Amino acid sequence: MITRLFLIRHGPTHAKSMVGWSDLPADLSDTAALARLSDYLPAEALVVSSDLSRAVETASALQGSRTRLPHVQALREIHFGAWELRTWAEVDAEDPERIRAYWEAPGDVTPPGGESWNQVCSRVDTAIDALITAHMGRDLIVVGHFGQILTQLQRAHRLTAEEAFGHKIDNLSVSEISLGPEGWQTGVINHLP
C-alpha cells in the first residue's frame, strides 16, 4: 500500500526576513496559479495544513471538494526564536558564528529561544508519520512551509541537512514523496504547475 504526499509551500508573505512561527497572512492574489495547482493535485486527496494562517489560507484556496483534516501545529515552519522577523544581516551583525553555523552546518545549533534543525526534523517527521499511519494508502496534500518540506525531502532522499538546504522550494510549488513497501520514493520537487 502506497501513501502519496503532495507537499505544498504556502502562498507568499513578501516578508524579507526569517518568518517561522509568526502568523503572517499569505498573498493569494494569483488565482491562476492556485487554480493550476489545484487542478494538478489528486481530486480525492485529503488536505491538511499547519495551523499558521498562511498555510491554512492556502489549503482553503486549494481544497475545493476535497476532505479537510484538522490543522496540525507540528507542521509549522522552523521556530526561529529571537531571530524571528529579523534579516540575516541583522542577526549576522550580532551573532555571526551562530547564524552561520545554523544555516551552513545545520544540526544541533539553535537560535536563542528557537529550535535546531534536528528538532524541526523530529517534530515534522513525527507529525507526518502520524498522518501516514492514520490515512495509510491515501493521497495527502500537506500545505506547509519551506523548512517543513525540506525535512521530508531530507528523509526521503536520505540527504544530509546541508544537501536538503540546497533545494529551492518556491511558494505555491509542489514536491511529491511517497511511502510504500519499497520505502520512500520521490517524484517532482519544487514543481510549479
List 10, 57, 79, 115, catalytic entry: 10
CA distance 175 to 104: 23
Annotation says 145 is catalytic = no
pLDDT in tens, 8-66: 999 999 999 989 999 999 999 999 999 999 999 999 999 999 999 999 999 999 999 99
Domains of the chain plus CATH, in order, are: 3-80+115-186 (3.40.50.1240)
List 44, 57, 71, 77, catalytic entry: 77
What is the mean pLDDT of the segment spanning 93-107? 90
pLDDT in tens, 113-156: 999 999 999 999 999 999 999 999 999 999 999 999 999 999 99
pTM of the model: 0.94
Annotation says 77 is catalytic = yes
